[in-house]
Structures are given as structure tokens and as C-alpha cells.
Amino acid sequence: MNDPMDLIQHCRRRWWWSQLPFWAYLDSNGDGWANLVDTHPGMFNLTWLAAGEPAGVLPYGIRPLAAQWAFVTAPHITVGGEPLTDLAFRVNLEEFKRRAWKPKVIATLPGALKSA
């Protein structure tokens, strides 16, 4: 979030895609995916999506590669010039899938096969 208006928007609306609120994704020690919100709220949505859109809260150690991908790789991917993390925070899940899952976007990922 580079703009103070992003923070205000973050506090006012339900921005997370999961059925449960993002803070439900913490264990009793305060560890879990919800901590990604401190770095960027979009990372939580991307982790949740990369983990297969779980309906309930998974233990913190489940799907650690999803969290690693959201934290390390996703911020460097852009869609229409916008970082993937920003897009994941700014739009709803349906809009995100419409914009980010186009073959031309996937083809630009490092190591991805070029679409015909």
C-alpha cells in the first residue's frame, strides 16, 4: 500500500476473498497466513487462492509454498502494469480471475510456456 487512501479503503471494506475473515487464519500463538496482511493485504488473498481456496482455516504449516510464493514471487508479477499483490487487494475474486488468469499473463511468468 503506497497510498494513504489504500489504507483507508482497507479498513472500510471487506477486501479478503475467503469466507472467514483474514484474522481467523492465525493459530493460538499468533502465527499464520493473516500475518501477511502486515506486509501487504493482497498477499493474504494470493496465499488463500494458491492454497486451493480452502473453506476452513488450515494449520499454519499446511501449504507453506503458497505463502512463500505470495511473499517472494507475487509482488514481482504485474498485470497491466499493476503488481499482482495490489490487484489481489483492490478487486474481488471474480475480477481478479478475469484479469490475472488470461493466457497472455501466464505466458509472461518466468519459466512459463508461451501460449500459441
48, 18 Cβ separation under 8 angstroms: yes
pLDDT of residue 2: 65
In a domain, 113, yes or no: no
* pLDDT over threshold 50, residue 115: no
* pLDDT over threshold 60, residue 51: yes
In a domain, 12, yes or no: yes
* pLDDT over threshold 80, residue 9: no
- What is the average per-residue pLDDT within 84-92? 93
Q: Please write down the HEC assignment for all residues of the chain.
A: CCCHHHHHHHHHCCCCCCCCCHHHHCCCCCCCHHHHHHCCHHHHHHHHHHCCCCCCCCCCCCCHHHHHHHHHHHHHCEECCEEHHHHHHHCCHHHHHHHHCCHHHHHCCCCCCCCC
Q: What is the rounded average pLDDT for all residues in the chain?
A: 80
- What is the average per-residue pLDDT within 60-72? 79
pTM for this predicted structure:
0.73
Rounded to whole angstroms, how far apart are CA atoms 59 and 5? 33
Closest CA to 49 of 10, 6, 85, 7: 85
Domain range enclosing 38: 4-107
pLDDT of residue 18: 93
pLDDT of residue 93: 93
| Overall number of domains in the chain | 1
In a domain, 14, yes or no: yes
* pLDDT over threshold 70, residue 8: no
In a domain, 112, yes or no: no
